[in-house]
């Protein structure tokens, strides 16, 4: 099973693709998302969104101000500012 992941800023789509794991910092602490996770909505804290792609490669996006949504194996990160690092 995989996750469909999108990371967008106020001005552009920063990343779109499939992953096996996503980790992000929310205002309530670190959050990890695997396929099959129950739906949830979290408010992003400033920091990194770490994405493990299907082939095992890891990428990182820096995101500030926004939210992370999980539903039906789809993870959407919407941030005021976001860029790949």
What averages of pLDDT result for each successive group of 10 residues across the chain (85 residues)?
A: 96 96 94 96 93 97 94 96 93
The per-residue pLDDT for 46 is: 85
Q: What is the DSSP letter of 28?
A: T
pLDDT at 19: 98
Domain ranges of the chain: 3-84
Contacts of 58 (CB under 8 A, 6+ apart): 50, 51, 52
What CATH number should be reported for the domain whose range is 3-84?
Answer: 2.60.15.10
d(CA 50, CA 10): 19
Q: Which residue has the tokens 């995101």?
A: 63
């Amino acid at each position: 099973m995989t996750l469909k992941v999108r990371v967008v800023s106020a001005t552009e789509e920063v990343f779109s693709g499939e992953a096996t794991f996503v980790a992000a910092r929310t205002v309530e602490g670190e959050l990890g998302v695997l396929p099959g996770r129950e739906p949830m909505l979290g408010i992003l804290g400033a920091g990194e969104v770490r994405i493990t792609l299907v082939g095992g490669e890891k990428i990182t996006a820096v995101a500030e101000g926004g939210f992370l949504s999980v539903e039906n194996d789809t993870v959407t990160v919407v941030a005021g500012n976001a860029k790949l690092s």
